[in-house]
Chain A
Amino acid sequence: MYGFEALTFNIHGGYLEAIVRGHRGGLLTAADYNNLCQCENLDDIKMHLSATEYGPYLQNEPSPLHTTTIVEKCTLKLVDDYKHMLCQATEPLSTFLEYITYGHMIDNVVLIVTGTLHERDVQELLEKCHPLGMFDSIATLAVAQNMRELYRLVLVDTPLAPYFSECITSDDLDDMNIEIMRNTLYKAYLEDFYRFCQKLGGATAEIMSDLLAFEADRRAVNITINSIGTELTRDDRRKLYSNFGLLYPYGHEELAVCEDIDQVRAAMEKYPPYQSIFAKLSYGESQMLDKAFYEEEVKRLCLAFEQQFHYAVFFAYMRLREQEIRNLMWISECVAQNQKSRVHDSVVFIF
């Protein structure tokens, strides 16, 4: 594939690339967001969305709407898009598309396991799961008592199985363990995805390695910040960082010993791409960090569309759409709770 994408890409990927670029054109624009921010109630939002690609999905909803309904229906659109693309895809694009969902799978597994731990109803938990991360026997996760059982009963059948090799212990499940499991799984997943993209080569490898490296670095920073003040040891923390990305390996050394947010900041400011993110934050603040990272991510995702003949557009589209749904959720919440002044706090505009 190296170097000759332009010659052969369209044989299998051309149709889907056209589809995904069409979908990208359907993302909400600045004018849409402006109008959405002016909405008085959820019906207004529904009416505004009815003129967009979400229209057919919201059309038949009876009038007292809830934020959850809006988000659910919008997610349904994303899932439909995804399923359509997956149906049409051939190797290796289909594998690539499947990789995109593994992240949701990990989240779902963690959600169910945590939920069962706190004795919540399984059906209720299932409804909360992201539909992209569903697999057949997900409900059975509730049966498992420890990691080993979890793996042996359920996960061995899923694509997540290989990622588990690091975290099979006989420990009983508790919140801390689960969180470590999530991050270990995620680390293994990102590294696997990264390797897969490298194998694909060409523009896909180039762009995806950039996007995934950003993702890995962001996770590293988040792990560091969240583990400050917990009993997680430095070595354990170090183990949760993915073994690639801009911060690997020296940045990781520095992050591993950080004791407060300002140390993280000092470590990160040595890396020019992240300097600009931290420059937006005042000292000692970590609330707006998520938004800053999201904004940077959206910018990078949008840039993925500037090149042709590669698979990163699919990844970028899925991520952008997810971001858009997060935005819609936030706007709807703000509108529903009459807190319109806070709309701009967490909306990340995509253009």
Chain B
Amino acid sequence: MVASKMAQFIDNIPSMDLMRSEKMTFAQLIIPVESAHRAVSYLGELGLFQFRDLNENKSPFQRTFINQVKRCAEMSRKLRFFKDQISKAGLMSSPHSVLQPDIELEELEYQLAEHEHELIELNSNSEKLRQSYNELLEFKIVLQKAFGFLASNHSHEFSERELEENVYLNDGYFDTASPLEKELKPGSSYQSGLRFISGMICKSKVLRFERMLFRATRGNMLFNQAAADELIEDPVSNEKIEKTVFVVFFSGEQARTKILKICESFGANCYPVPEDISKQRQISGEVSTRLSDLETTLDAGIRHRNKALASVECHLAKWMNMVRREKAVYDTLNMLNFDVTKKCLVGEGWCPVFAKLQIQEALQRATLDSSSQVGIIFHPMDAAESPPTYFRTNRFTSAYQEIVDAYGVARYEEANPAVYTVITFPFLFAVMFGDWGHGICLLLGALVLIARESRLSKERLGSFMEMLFGGRYVLLLMSLFSIYCGLIYNEFFSVPFHIFGKSAYSCRDASCRDAHTAGLVKLRDPYPFGVDPSWRGSRSELAFLNSLKMKMSILLGVAQMNLGIILSYFNAHYFSSSVDIRYQFVPQMIFLNSLFGYLSLLIVIKWCNGSQADLYHVMIYMFLSPTDNLGENQLFRGQRPLQIVLLLLALIAVPWMLFPKPFILKKLHHERFQGRTYGMLTTSEMDLEEEPDSARQHDEEFNFSEVFVHQMIHSIEFVLGAVSNTASYLRLWALSLAHSELSTVFYEKVLVLAWGYDNLVIRLVGLAVFAFATAFILLMMETLSAFLHALRLHWVEFQNKFYHGDGYKFRPFSFASLTEDDD
């Protein structure tokens, strides 16, 4: 009776969108070839159809539309080339996009090829110009610098001699010969074979270059160098680098070839510098005029190129988008099969039931637009595999759905814990993070994120910011709840405030001397909301708060676990599996509530009548000696018989959830395969599908021992879990204690201590340390740890009561989900 009434009541509950995933249907599309492309792109715009790959066993290049995919890849390569060139040229992306009629893919391909051709030609032209320009520039610098070396050579005979000596000093063998040389030298030294090569080399290579020259010529050379004053573009690599001008003096033809080879291998550019001063002047003049000529040509070239790039740039984003879409369409078309006649493409896939009409409408549009004579056939089919899970979320709920999905995607049409997570997750977080000062800080952060939502959602954020931004609504609720819990704990950066009136307690006398030893007296009614501020700093503060928070954690935990078990009832009812209700839900409910539900009851009674009973003692002796007299631990009349009844119920519940279900499954299986009960077939199938193992071996032999072992594991897990999960909820108390103690330490040992000194510097330092500790330790690390613990409580303690989480997500083919990374 009760069960049927309850079922009726549940049936009448208005349906919740998030509670069950969307109903899905498997459908087949038969599309005539001529309208296939359009149909698929319309479906992509709609974004509500998930295609199944029918060509899985074919390698990518054996598929039908591979050529188009290749062409798209080639086009996107060209577009990347343009993008690269544009960003190199430093053109800003103009926000205005020129409206242009849609162009066909073929035309785009043609245009792209043309643009690329033009650009490459321009590039190669300007490359040549630039190279000669850079060469001339280097030549000019070499002329200037080398002129310095040579001029000193010519004008001062003395320095020349010194130079010569330098050369010979480098070489020990000719020490004896030097006087002879000196005699010969005057007037004709450079004509008699002392020659030089000048050029330019990258600064980083100079040392090695010099060493190599020294080795190759056995020291018979003089190396002069001077740094170029500016960064110079290398004619070959087009990069700005520091360079050095060098002049090598040497003698002999063999040395010359060697040096030239070395220059070549080091990438040094050699330039001929005439020895005659007037000729030098003339050449440098020529070089300068040619340089200025080239400069104007180059400028004109760059202007022309920039214009060409700008004309590409205004379409670039649109074209990239278009090519990306085309590629996606052809990738999807590649998943389709040809039918026997080769005139139609056959596609299969999943779509939500509510979208059927939209899809059919889109397909009709495609038929009309491509003026095909045959319509597109859309017909639902049966599928062997289970449908994908699809929840319609909005920007508020999506973060919570993500939290649940991170554990596992819900099985198709299974109760979705995200509905409850929206409130319970931030609330459990707040129980651990209860401080309304810190809560306000979090709230400000969340509000900033939400206020800038439209701007931030367009930007590309770092991974940390991305995460923070994604969870902004979670953060919002977390901060609101932590303000609420902070008010209950009466903590503002660990300082209590008298917000809701005066404290109920006061000192025994005016001096308050014995407040710490003898305690306070109660004067007024209890403090109206939250913890009385007088507890703060009293001797029994910790004892009181710990007891309060521990009991609260147990109550919250038992409530949430009960919710989990009730959700398993919702599931069983939805899939009309009476076996699960009778032999799983009912004994589980009884077991949990007869032990920990009873404990919660005791806690509430103790709070109400202020009894001194020791609840540990009550619970422990309920098992050890249930018949003993409770004595002073008795909370209400008839407690002892109630305890005995509850204990018996709990003991009965264990075999109840262990034994019947596998046997009933076995019986159903036998009946089904012996063909005795045709009528039962549907229900028994449902029942079997409920059990994860039997669903897999749908058509196989019913493996009783496996089912039994599984049931045993489940039962043991539940029984042990009831104890350990309840204990696990005590983390709510532990973390909350840690948080308040930490913030007390920072407040008292840093801020208050620093304030005690009458020194501005110490005060400021104290304030800074306090601010940093609050921001980094309390606001960031504690938030993270409380978040993780709340996550664990949801994933493990709450969801293991009912959640299978072995579904897979609905991933429709949609243009909206194409991102730039897809390239």
Q: Which of B59, B60, B77, B216 contacts A60 (CB 8 A)?
A: B77
Please state if B61 and A60 are interface contacts (CB–CB under 8 Å): no
The answer for the CA separation of A44 and B70 in the assembled complex, in Å, is 9
The reply to whether A153 and B216 contact each other, CB–CB distance below 8 Å, is: yes
Minimal beta-carbon separation of A237 from chain B (angstroms): 34
Closest to A51 in B: B60
Nearest CB of B to A181, in Å? 20
**What is the CA–CA distance of A80 and B122 in the complex, to the nearest angstrom?**
32
Closest chain B residue to A63 by CB distance? B74
Complex Cα distance, B215 from A129, in Å, reads 25
Stretch at the interface among B256-264, B293-301, B371-379, B532-540: B256-264
Q: A63-B74, A143-B258, A153-B216 are in contact. Are A48 and B265 (CB under 8 A)?
A: no
Q: A38-B59, A39-B61, A140-B266 are in contact. Are A60 and B73 (CB under 8 A)?
A: no
Q: Is the CB of A136 within 8 A of B70?
A: no
Cβ proximity bits B203-236 to A, threshold 8 Å, 1 near / 0 not: 0010010001001100000000000000000000
Residues of chain A lying within 8 A (CB to CB) of residue B216: 143, 153
| A48 touching B60, Cβ below 8 Å | yes
Q: Is B81 an interface residue (CB 8 A)?
A: yes
CB-based contact A143/B262 at 8 Å: yes
> Which of B61, B77, B205, B261 sits near A143, CB closer than 8 Å?
B261
Of A38, A137, A143, the contact of B208 (CB 8 Å cutoff) = A137
B215 touching A152, Cβ below 8 Å: yes
Cα distance, A192 to B208, chains bound together (Å) = 27
Q: Is B240 an interface residue (CB 8 A)?
A: no
A39 CB, min distance to chain B CBs, angstroms: 7
Whether B70 pairs with A47 at a CB distance below 8 angstroms is: yes
Q: Does A81 contact B (CB under 8 A)?
A: no
- Interface residue? B343 (CB, 8 A): no
**Using Cβ atoms and an 8 Å threshold, which residues of chain A touch B59?**
35, 38, 48
How many angstroms from the CA of A122 to the CA of B181 in the assembled complex?
A: 38
How far does the Cβ of A116 sit from chain B's closest Cβ, in whole Å?
10
Nearest-CB distance from A47 to chain B (Å)?
6
Bitwise, A61-94 to B at CB < 8 A (1) or not (0) is 1110000000000000000000000000000000
Interface residue A59 (Cβ < 8 Å from any Cβ of B)? yes
Q: How far is the CA of A157 from the CA of B66 in the complex (A)?
A: 53
Q: Mark A153-169, 1 if CB is under 8 A from B, else 0.
A: 11001000000000000
| Interface positions of A from 20 to 71, Cβ below 8 Å from B | 35, 38-40, 43-44, 47-48, 50-51, 59-63
Q: Are A153 and B212 in contact (CB under 8 A)?
A: yes
B 73-89 binary contact with A (CB < 8 Å = 1; else 0): 11001001100000000
Q: Is the CB of A140 within 8 A of B212?
A: yes
Is A142 interfacial (CB 8 A cutoff)? Answer: yes
Closest to B261 in A: A143
Which A residues are in CB contact (< 8 Å) with B265?
122, 137-143
Contacts of B258 in A (CB 8 A): 143
List of A residues within 8 angstroms of B212 by Cβ = 137, 140, 153-154
Whether B208 contacts A136 by the Cβ 8 Å rule is yes
Contact at A140–B61, with CB atoms within 8 Å?
A: no
Closest to B77 in A: A60
Q: Which residue of B lies closest to A39 (CB)?
A: B61
Q: Which residues of B contact A38 (CB under 8 A)?
A: 59, 61-62
- A17 CA / B548 CA spacing, docked (Å): 51
Residues on the A chain within 8 Å of B80, using CB: 60
Q: Could you tell me the distance in whole angstroms from the C-beta of B259 to the nearest C-beta in chain A? A: 9
B73 and A153 within 8 A (CB): no
Among the listed B60, B66, B215, B264, which residue makes an inter-chain contact with A122, where contact means beta carbons less than 8 Å apart? B264
Determine which of B73, B215, B266 lies in contact with A47 in the assembled complex, contact meaning CB atoms within 8 Å. B73
Mostly, the B contact residues are: helix
For the complex, give the distance between the alpha carbons of A157 and B215 in Å: 12
Nearest-neighbour CB distance to chain A for B236, whole angstroms, equals 11
Instruction: State in angstroms the CA–CA spacing of A44 and B61 once bound together.
Output: 7
* Closest-CB distance, A188 to chain B (whole angstroms): 23
Q: How far is the CA of A250 from the CA of B671 in the complex (A)?
A: 79
The winner among A44, A142, A143, A153 for most chain B CB atoms within 10 A is A143
Q: Are B70 and A43 in contact (CB under 8 A)?
A: yes
Cβ of B615 to closest chain A Cβ, rounded Å = 49
Complex Cα gap A140–B260 (Å): 11
Least CB distance, B235 to chain A, in whole angstroms: 15
0 or 1 for each of B668-706: is its CB under 8 Å from A? (1 = yes): 000000000000000000000000000000000000000
**Is B61 a contact of A40 with CB atoms below 8 Å?**
yes
Q: Tell me the bound Cα distance from A40 to B70 in angstroms.
A: 14
- Contact call B262/A59, Cβ cutoff below 8 A: no
Give the one of B61, B73, B258, B261 with max A CB within 10 A.
B61
CB neighbours (8 Å) of B215 from chain A are: 152-153
Most buried by A among B80, B205, B258: B258
Q: How far is the CA of A272 from the CA of B297 in the complex (A)?
A: 74
* Contact of A59 with B77 in the complex, beta carbons under 8 Å: yes
| CB nearest to B267 among chain A residues | A139
Compute how far the CA of A40 lies from the CA of B261 in the bound complex, rounded to whole angstroms: 45
Q: Cβ of A157: which chain B residues have Cβ within 8 Å of it?
A: 208
Q: Determine the chain B residues whose CB is within 8 A of the CB of A143 once the complex forms.
A: 216, 258, 261-262, 265
Contact in complex: A47, B61 (CB < 8 Å): yes
C-alpha spacing A143/B258, complex, angstroms: 6
Alpha-carbon separation in the docked complex, A63 to B205 (Å)? 37
Residues on B with C-beta less than 8 A from A39 are: 61
Contacts of A140 in B (CB 8 A): 212, 261-262, 265-266
Complex interface: chain A residues within 8 A of B266 (CB): 137, 139-140
* A148, B303: Cα distance in complex, Å: 56
How long is the Cα–Cα vector from A62 to B81 in the complex, in angstroms? 10
Q: Please, which residues of chain A bring their CB within 8 A of the CB of B74?
A: 63
Most buried by A among B62, B70, B215, B265: B265
B176 to chain A, nearest CB (A): 25
Task: Tell me, rounded to whole Å, the shortest Cβ–Cβ distance linking B16 to chain A.
Answer: 42
- Chain A proximity of B707: nearest CB distance (Å): 37
CB distance from A201 to the nearest CB of B (A): 36
The contact of B61 among A48, A122, A138, by CB within 8 Å, is: A48
Which residues from 70 to 116 on chain B have a C-beta closer than 8 Å to any C-beta of chain A? 70, 73-74, 77, 80-81
Shortest Cβ distance from A40 into chain B, in angstroms?
7
**A47 CA / B77 CA spacing, docked (Å):** 13
A11 CB to closest chain B CB (Å) equals 27
Proximity bits, A96-125, B CB within 8 Å = 1, else 0: 000000000000000000000000001000
Min Cβ gap A168→B in Å is: 15
| List of A residues within 8 angstroms of B62 by Cβ | 38
Shortest CB-to-CB span from A316 to chain B, Å, is 29
Write out the residue numbers on chain A whose beta carbons fall within 8 Å of the beta carbon of B70: 43, 47
- Chain B residues contacting A47 (CB-CB under 8 Å) are 60-61, 66, 70, 73
Residue of A nearest to B823 (CB): A59
User: In the docked arrangement, what's the CA distance between A129 and B61, Å?
Assistant: 34
* Contact (Cβ within 8 A) B264 A139: yes
B49-78 vs A, Cβ < 8 Å mask (1 yes, 0 no)? 000000000011110001000100110010
CA distance A187 to B77 in the complex (A): 47
Residue of A nearest to B257 (CB): A143
Distance in Å: Cβ of A253 to nearest Cβ of chain B: 42
Complex CA distance for A122 and B205, rounded to whole angstroms: 19
Min Cβ gap B118→A in Å is 15
Give me the 7 closest cross-chain CB pairs, A-B, nearest first: A139-B265, A140-B265, A35-B59, A44-B61, A143-B261, A153-B215, A63-B74
A-B contact pairs, 20 of them (CB 8 A): A35-B59, A35-B60, A35-B61, A38-B61, A44-B61, A47-B61, A47-B66, A48-B61, A60-B81, A61-B77, A62-B77, A136-B205, A137-B208, A140-B212, A140-B261, A140-B265, A142-B261, A143-B258, A152-B215, A153-B212
Measuring CB to CB, which residues of chain A are less than 8 angstroms from any residue of chain B? 35, 38-40, 43-44, 47-48, 50-51, 59-63, 122, 136-143, 152-154, 157
Q: Known pairs A122-B264, A140-B266, A153-B216; list 20 more (Cβ under 8 Å).
A: A40-B61, A43-B70, A47-B70, A51-B60, A59-B77, A60-B81, A61-B77, A62-B77, A136-B208, A137-B208, A137-B212, A138-B265, A140-B262, A142-B261, A142-B265, A143-B258, A143-B261, A143-B262, A152-B215, A157-B208
